[in-house]
Amino acid sequence: MSSSPRIRLRLAKRGRARYLSHHDLARTLERSLRRARVPLALTQGFHPHPRISFGGALALGCESEAEYLEIVLSEPMEPGQLVADLNATFPEGLEILEAAEVPGESPKLGSLLQGSVFEVVVEVSRGADAIESGVVALLAKDSFKVERSRPGGASTQEIRSAILSLNVWRDESGYVTLRAELRHLTPAVRPDDVLLAIGQLTGCPLEVRLIRRIAQGPVTASGVVSLPVAQGS
């Protein structure tokens, strides 16, 4: 390890922990790092802060198997020990899945997280056929806008350019799962925006049971590639 290791971590957010906001999650992680006595490097200036970089925020209520952060250490620490120490301090629903040192010259985390893969479990009033027809109709369009309701008023956003792929399958329980690969744009296009579009195209109301991010990483010709944490990435 180098004298100031840069460690990339992949974090799972499950169950009740999915209701932690991005701000609350950041505070929880900082507290856990302190409690685990992780030797964090600090920023310079009058108000030094731990050198922690987070990936993009996840919408409140979503689970994830692929949240990423990077930390810079003031002294070497084995990634395996770091994972064990952090997980011992975490509240229920948070878990570090893997950690590894990355080279100091590696691109910044934000530039690597170009897209996400989501699984969305929904209940539908008219069955999977309606969702499948809505997916076909949405993918056939060059552009599609949805209207969001916000505290400051409604806003309209173009979402089609963010959609890399959409797939649907049904299970024996009567639920339908939508797998969506979405490019990260500003402002972000969320899975519920896609569901809203499908509902508008089909007239079929969709009730979300669960949204889960299962991968994040670079966007390639074949779609979103899950970002590895291993050295050399």
Is pLDDT above 80 for 192?
yes
Residue 64: predicted pLDDT = 98
CB 121 within 8 A of CB 175: yes
Highest mean pLDDT among 1-5, 119-123, 171-175: 119-123
Mean pLDDT of 50-71: 94
User: CA torsion sign, 73 to 77 to 79 to 80?
Assistant: negative
Residue 233: predicted pLDDT = 53
Mean pLDDT of 178-186: 96
Residue 206: predicted pLDDT = 81
Residue 154: predicted pLDDT = 79
Q: Which residue has the tokens 């966007």?
A: 219
Asked whether this chain's domains 6-109 and 115-217 adopt the same fold, the reply is yes
Torsion of CA 175, 176, 179, 183, to 10 degrees: -100
Q: Which residue has the tokens 């922990």?
A: 17
Return the CATH number of the domain spanning residue range 6-109: 3.30.70.580
Is pLDDT above 80 for 3?
no
The tokens for 47 are 């108000």
pTM of the model: 0.91
Is pLDDT above 80 for 232?
no
Confidence of residue 15 (pLDDT cuts 50, 70, 90): very high
Helix/strand/coil (H, E, C) string of the chain? CCCCCEEEEEEEECHHHHHCCHHHHHHHHHHHHHHCCCCECECCCCCCCECEEECCCCCCCCEEEEEEEEEEECCCCCHHHHHHHHHHHCCCCEEEEEEEEECCCCCCHHHHCCEEEEEEEEEECCCHHHHHHHHHHHHCCCCCEEEECCCCCCEEEECHHHEEEEEEEECCCCCEEEEEEEECCCCCCCHHHHHHHHHHHHCCCEEEEEEEEEEEECEECCEECCCCCCCCC
Confidence of residue 230 (pLDDT cuts 50, 70, 90): confident
Mean pLDDT of 194-218: 91
- Architecture field, domain 115-217: 2-Layer Sandwich (3.30)
Is pLDDT above 80 for 231?
no
Do β-strands 155-158 and 63-72 pair in parallel, antiparallel, or remain unpaired?
unpaired
Is pLDDT above 60 for 67?
yes
Residue 104: predicted pLDDT = 80
Domain definitions of the chain by residue range: 6-109, 115-217
Residue range 93-103, pLDDT digits in tens = 999 999 999 98
Residue range 111-139, pLDDT digits in tens = 999 999 999 998 876 667 888 999 999 99
The tokens for 107 are 């691109």
How far apart (Å, rounded) are the C-alpha atoms in residues 200 and 194? 10
Question: CB burial class (10 A; 0-12, 13-18, 19+) of residue 178?
Answer: buried
Mean pLDDT of 153-178: 88
Residue 128: predicted pLDDT = 75
Q: Cα angle vertex 182, ends 29, 175, to 5°?
A: 90
Mean pLDDT over all residues of the chain? 91
Mean pLDDT of 147-167: 88
